Amino acid sequence: MFSFTKEQKVFKISGIKIGGQPGKYPTILFGGVFFKGDFDFEYTEKNIQDMLNISKKTANPIIPDFFIKKEEHIENIINFIDTKLPKNVPFSIDVIEPSIKVKALEHLNDKDLLSRTIYNSIHIGITDRELNALKNNTPEMAIILAFNPKDKSPDGKVEILENGANLTKDGLLNIANNLGIKKILVDTAALAPGDNSGAAIAAIPVIKEEYGLPTGCAIHNVVEKSKWLDNFNYAKTTVDASSNVNIPLFGGDYAIFGPMKNAEYVIPVIAWQDILISEYAENYFGISPDNFHPRRKLL
């Protein structure tokens, strides 16, 4: 359990605070919203409500992470966000295809939703069209993915943020700043087992101390990519949920924990971890937990 010398930034979006010294604010949890085939919005709405109910009990804010796979899905998903997601809940959009990113940003702007949007994510594959779209449709907050294909160590991840490792014209942090995005979350890019997957965790304190920015990752991706764990049906769910505790343990601020149906496993595990960290941080570093923190709710 750690504390940082560097001043830690705290960003707010729709009333949720992300960042700070370990033990101050609860770990933020991003639950993945995936659509396969037909849109079952009733099921999605129920799942989101379930996540919000658990979140109320533990005081760990949740943020739905909407995965947009196809261009023809943009309108349906953003309409759902606009009409069904409670107005006080921020959300992130997770898009891989650059052309879909551009259209999704424009659509979010049309619906006046950018003030609740966390853009997931800016990375070294950013295109000129995407840059332009971000300039004209600037989201409130963005996740910067510190993926460095040359060097997957924490130092390599810092290099991408700092100077783009000669893969982009500038460091990713400068790129985001120049776009006018002031609220930045760093994602330490969890890779598959065998690809220095542990570096995503080890990089959290490095990046927090270097920049003071809220930092986290999708450590669930490592579990998802493991074939080895397929041999242990029951353990896979446990490992999936419990691997997230590494993030707050190493000083991180948020976890992208995979499909939202895992919320009932993940949220209480993280709340428990937040309590342990808060007790240590208060005793050793004098960091009192915020009023909205699992330690205030569960003990």
Partner 1 sequence: MNQEYYPWGGEFTTCSPDGCVAVILLNIDYKPNELVAIYGSLKTENIGIEKIVANVISNPKIRYLVVCGNDIRGHRSGMSIIALKENGIDEQHKIINSPGAIPYIENLNNEAIERFRNQIEIIDLLGITDKKKLDKVIDSLSAKSPPPFGEPYIAIKIIDESYVKLNDKRALHSKIVMNYMGKIERRDK
Binding residues vs partner 1 (CB under 8 A): 1-6, 69-70, 95-98, 123-125, 147, 149-151, 153-155, 158, 166-167, 191-192, 194-195, 198-199, 202, 205-206, 208-210, 227, 251, 280, 284-285
State the Cα angle at 269 between 263 and 271, rounded to 5°. 95
Q: Which amino acid is at 79?
A: N
Cβ nearer to partner 1, comparing 48 with 200: 200
**Nearest approach, Cβ of 156 to partner 1 (angstroms)?**
10
Nearer to partner 1, 1 or 239 (CB): 1
Query: What does the CA dihedral 83, 87, 90, 94 come to, rounded to 10 degrees?
Result: 0
What Rg value do the Cα atoms of the chain yield, rounded? 18
Contacts of residues 50-54 at CB distance under 8 Å and 24 or more positions apart, as own/partner, are 50/260, 50/263, 50/264, 51/260, 51/263, 51/267, 52/86, 52/89, 54/263, 54/264, 54/267, 54/268
> Between residues 94 and 140, which has the closer beta carbon with respect to partner 1?
94
Q: How far is the CB of 294 from partner 1 (least distance, A)?
A: 20
Which residue, 86 or 194, is less far from partner 1 as judged by CB? 194
Tokens of 71: 């261009």
* Shortest Cβ 46–partner 1 spacing (Å): 27
Helix or strand holding residue 276 (H, E): helix 263-285
Closest distance to partner 1 from the beta carbon of 125 (Å) = 4
Report the distance separating Cα 178 and Cα 147, nearest Å: 20
Closer to partner 1 by Cβ: residue 18 or 191: 191
Minimum distance from residue 194 beta carbon to partner 1 (Å): 7
